[in-house]
């Protein structure tokens, strides 16, 4: 039986791609498509909005998930929290890929997520999930003799910086060193900042062109340097990862999960 999927942010870049993939995936079916109140796509067929044949599902402003459905949320921070609340109340599973959440919003999202079946990840790529595992291993193996810096590149229209993925990679490094990222992250340098402190984890974001998303973690030691990089060549890798997470989550008990859980890492 096909898993019913609700797409929140259905008219956005990721939402349209998800609708396209769901339409040709025998394991899923589009149950509902949601957009913000006042959006130009409201009332239109979700398939047509996505640039494919009509699917018989019209884009709506109301989010009302059925318990058997799985929601894929790529909307906006405020809307995402509202959707999490509704999913938790309905006992519906939800995959949260919305980025740009503030620390307070993220804490709230995690608290809500524990009340139902939830995957929260700033990057749904399976490659990034593997990158997290590699980074944790490298951080532990190389030890404090190596400084760690993180660089990310995204298209010129991206609103938040640094990316949620870059922050997550910083958290992975800090956790492997036994500390939180808060108080250690250094977001760029200018002027005369002085020598780099041992505690710093540098994080810098570049914006331009149509770059989907590049993330590199640099381990800088005496006489050598290790670089671990993931490059997204299209958003399809993110959409496919999100669908994989949805199908996995449908069979899980109540709990808060990450993409590393989805992959068994």
230 tagged catalytic: no
* 17-to-79, 117, 144, 152 alpha-carbon distances in Å: 20, 23, 42, 23
Task: Identify the active-site residue in 154, 155, 215, 230.
Answer: 154
> What is the per-residue burial (b if ≥16 Cβ within 10 Å, else e) of 191-224?
eeeeeeeeebbbbbbeeeeebbbbbbbbbbeeee
Q: Are strands 185-186 and 117-120 parallel, antiparallel or unpaired?
A: unpaired
**Rg, C-alpha atoms of the chain:** 19
* Residue of 146, 95, 134, 152 lying closest to 228 (CA atoms): 134
* 168-to-41, 43, 85, 97, 128 alpha-carbon distances in Å: 32, 36, 23, 13, 10
Task: Identify the active-site residue in 83, 155, 158, 230.
Answer: 158
Q: What are the percentages of helix, strand and coil residues in the chain, rounded to 5?
A: 35, 25, 40
154 tagged catalytic: yes
Say how far residue 162 (Cα) sits from the centre of its chain.
Answer: 13
* 151-to-42, 46, 165, 197, 242 alpha-carbon distances in Å: 38, 36, 10, 18, 24
Say if residues 171 and 183 touch (Cβ distance below 8 Å).
no
Catalytic residues: 154, 158
């Amino acid at each position: 039986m096909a898993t019913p999927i609700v797409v929140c942010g259905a008219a956005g870049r990721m939402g349209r791609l998800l609708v396209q993939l769901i339409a040709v995936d025998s394991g899923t079916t589009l149950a509902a498509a949601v957009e913000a109140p006042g959006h130009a796509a409201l009332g239109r067929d979700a398939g047509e909005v996505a640039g494919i044949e009509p699917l018989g599902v019209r884009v709506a402003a109301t989010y009302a998930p059925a318990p058997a459905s799985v929601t894929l949320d790529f909307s906006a921070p405020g809307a995402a929290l509202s959707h999490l609340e509704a999913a938790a109340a309905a006992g519906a599973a939800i995959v949260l890929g919305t980025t740009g959440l503030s620390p307070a919003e993220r804490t709230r999202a995690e608290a809500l997520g524990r009340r139902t079946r939830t995957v929260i990840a700033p990057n749904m790529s399976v490659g990034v999930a593997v990158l997290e595992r590699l980074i944790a291993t490298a951080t532990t193996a190389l030890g404090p003799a190596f400084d760690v810096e993180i660089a990310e590149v995204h298209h010129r229209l991206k609103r938040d910086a640094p990316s949620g993925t870059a922050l997550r990679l910083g958290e992975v490094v800090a956790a492997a060193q036994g500390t939180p990222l808060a108080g250690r992250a250094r977001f760029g340098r200018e002027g005369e900042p002085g020598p780099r402190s041992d505690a710093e984890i540098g994080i810098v974001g570049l914006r331009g062109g149509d770059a989907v998303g590049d993330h590199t973690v640099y381990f800088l030691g005496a006489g050598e340097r290790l670089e671990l990089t993931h490059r997204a060549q299209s958003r399809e890798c993110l959409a496919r990862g999100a669908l994989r997470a949805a199908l996995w989550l449908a069979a899980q008990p109540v709990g808060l999960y990450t993409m590393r859980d989805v992959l068994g890492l």
